[in-house]
């Protein structure tokens, strides 16, 4: 990264919560280790509890010890000296101690303020209103976690409120799947390589599969998940955004505005999902988890067909699948190529596939058919793999690290816009209005049996 951000005051709402502990604080410490933080910065944690600065530093130390990077591996003493805590909560009627802590910082009015809302979505409106009420919105950057709204109407209500307090260029709606190295390579591989660009359309692609199975359950966030489910937690957020990354038309440039515009334009071409082309599931034992409502019908699994009504993709199914307590944890985007016309009478199905592995530092895989060496003309499937971390001088960053750095730099390329989010809610609307009854599936399986009839999945087939 070429330049260093100026003095920054980073306010972390929900600083003692699960998301901050697992993702945001480790990402911020990684930025410190990599030398990507401003020369002058302070992180102010905010919460309802009466926590001293020193106790908050110990909380951060414990979080890093559990989730990494371990404090012993980096500049912990210098990092800890820049941590503060402002207790007493924060709302329009009572700012708690946040204003006092900010005013006592050595930056005065010279710092760029970044507010990170690592809090439940239900609290977004109150915090946003309070930022405006207490003079903390002007020229600030505000990061909103997903889901940005939990229904079409709540999205519209939140979006109106946010735009009453903030200008659009101040808003950073985070979707960490867009910060993954391999997700960014979806458009780089295509636009920088004619071999891929030439086949990136309905003429050559049979289907696109976006598959994010997880072995984890929901025990650590049961109440949140039971009020959300797989459709809202994953489909309308991560999977739709990755589909747009695959399907967008070439942008006018790689500048933030043009990349966002290309991504959002194709989302507007998403056909509203037909509930008949969706399978929902719930793993056995879900209802017995502490925090789950008795008789819950929350979906922990979703498999869906998405169609994109534009000339490039018309007729190509985008197969989206995710779920909890499945057989494997994977994050893959697979472009399944059509069988070529020619002299071979029959070819193995789904044998020519370009796959982007989104997990970890990312990788690109190409599977194809080749002649097996020998006297007979026999075909054999093979594959080649490019681990992105092994490229010369590679410096891969975890997605939260990359995206928080982009916020510090003021780069909105990998953040969502309200027009695209409005279109995603329109696309998922019919499913929310008439959801199928979730089918039970065994833990450690590939989900409900009926999902296998929906599509020929590459994973778990």
Selection from 43, 379, 356, 340 nearest residue 189 by Cα: 356
Sign of the Cα pseudo-torsion (60, 63, 69, 72, in order): positive
Q: 291 among the known binding-site residues?
A: no
DSSP single-letter state for residue 306: E
Distance CA 379, CA 246 (A): 30
Token digits of residue 315: 């007729």
**Which 8-state DSSP code applies to residue 339?**
P
For residue 324, say whether it is annotated as part of any ligand binding site. yes
Q: Is 146 annotated as a binding residue?
A: yes
Q: Is 315 annotated as a binding residue?
A: no
Residue 439 marked in a binding site: no
The annotation status of 431 as a binding-site residue, yes or no, is no
* 21 labeled binding residue: yes
Helices marked H in 106-175 — which ranges? 124-133, 152-165
Is 19 annotated for ligand binding?
yes
Q: Give me the sheet containing 278-283, strands edge to edge.
A: 379-387, 363-371, 353-357, 332-337, 205-213, 318-323, 301-306, 278-283, 439-441
Cα gap 56→45, rounded to integer Å: 8
Which residue of the set 61, 115, 187, 238 is catalytic?
A: 238
Is 17 annotated as contributing to ligand binding? yes
Strand order in the sheet with 41-46: 83-86, 41-46, 8-13, 112-117, 141-144, 171-173
Site of tokens 């359309």? 201
- 77 is an annotated ligand-binding site residue: no
Active site residue 53: no
User: What is the rounded distance in angstroms from the CA atom of residue 333 to the CA atom of residue 335?
Assistant: 7
> Is position 16 annotated in a ligand binding site?
yes
Residue list for the binding site for NADP(+)? 14-21, 48, 146
Instruction: Give catalytic residue positions.
Output: 238
Residue list for the binding site? 14-21, 48, 146, 176, 180, 214, 233, 324
Residue list for the binding site for substrate? 176, 180, 214, 233, 324
């Amino acid at each position: 990264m070429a330049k260093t951000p100026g003095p920054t005051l980073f306010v972390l709402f929900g600083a003692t919560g699960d998301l901050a502990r697992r993702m945001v604080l480790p990402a911020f410490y990684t930025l410190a280790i990599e030398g990507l933080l401003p020369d002058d910065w302070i992180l102010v944690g905010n919460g309802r509890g009466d926590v001293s600065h020193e106790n908050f530093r110990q909380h951060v130390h414990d979080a890093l010890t559990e989730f990494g990077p371990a404090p012993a591996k980096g500049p912990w003493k210098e990092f800890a000296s820049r941590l503060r805590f402002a207790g007493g909560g924060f709302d329009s009627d009572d700012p708690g101690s946040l204003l006092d802590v900010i005013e006592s910082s050595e930056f005065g009015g010279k710092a760029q303020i970044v507010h990170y809302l690592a809090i439940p979505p239900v609290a977004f409106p109150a915090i946003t209103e309070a930022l405006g009420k207490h003079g903390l919105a002007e020229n600030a950057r505000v990061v909103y976690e997903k889901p940005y709204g939990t229904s079409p109407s709540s999205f519209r209500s939140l979006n109106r409120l946010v735009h009453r307090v903030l200008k659009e260029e101040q808003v950073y709606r985070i979707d960490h799947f867009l910060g993954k190295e391999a997700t960014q390579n979806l458009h780089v591989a295509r636009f920088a390589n004619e071999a891929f660009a030439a086949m990136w359309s309905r003429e050559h692609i049979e289907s696109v599969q976006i598959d994010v199975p997880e072995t984890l359950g929901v025990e650590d966030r049961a109440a949140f998940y039971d009020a959300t489910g797989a459709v809202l937690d994953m489909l309308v957020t991560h999977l739709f955004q990755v589909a747009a990354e695959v399907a967008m038309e070439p942008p006018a440039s790689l500048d933030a505005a043009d990349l966002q515009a290309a991504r959002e334009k194709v989302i507007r071409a998403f056909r509203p999902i037909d509930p008949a082309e969706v399978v929902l599931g719930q793993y056995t034992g879900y209802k017995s988890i502490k925090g789950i409502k008795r008789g819950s019908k929350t979906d922990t699994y979703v498999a869906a067909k998405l169609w994109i009504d534009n000339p490039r993709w018309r007729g190509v199914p985008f197969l989206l699948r995710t779920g909890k307590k499945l057989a494997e944890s994977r994050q893959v985007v697979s472009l399944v190529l059509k069988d070529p016309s020619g002299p071979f009478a029959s070819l193995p199905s789904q044998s020519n596939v370009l796959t982007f592995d989104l997990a970890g530092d990312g990788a690109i895989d190409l599977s194809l058919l080749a002649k097996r060496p020998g006297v007979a003309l026999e075909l054999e499937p093979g594959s080649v793999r490019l681990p992105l971390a092994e490229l010369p001088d590679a410096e891969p960053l975890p997605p939260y690290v990359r995206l928080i750095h982009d916020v510090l730099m003021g780069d909105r390329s990998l953040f969502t816009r309200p027009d695209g989010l409005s279109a995603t809610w329109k696309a998922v609307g019919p499913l929310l209005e008439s959801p199928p009854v979730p089918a039970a599936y065994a833990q450690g399986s590939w989900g409900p049996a009926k999902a296998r009839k929906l599509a020929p999945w590459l994973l778990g087939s």
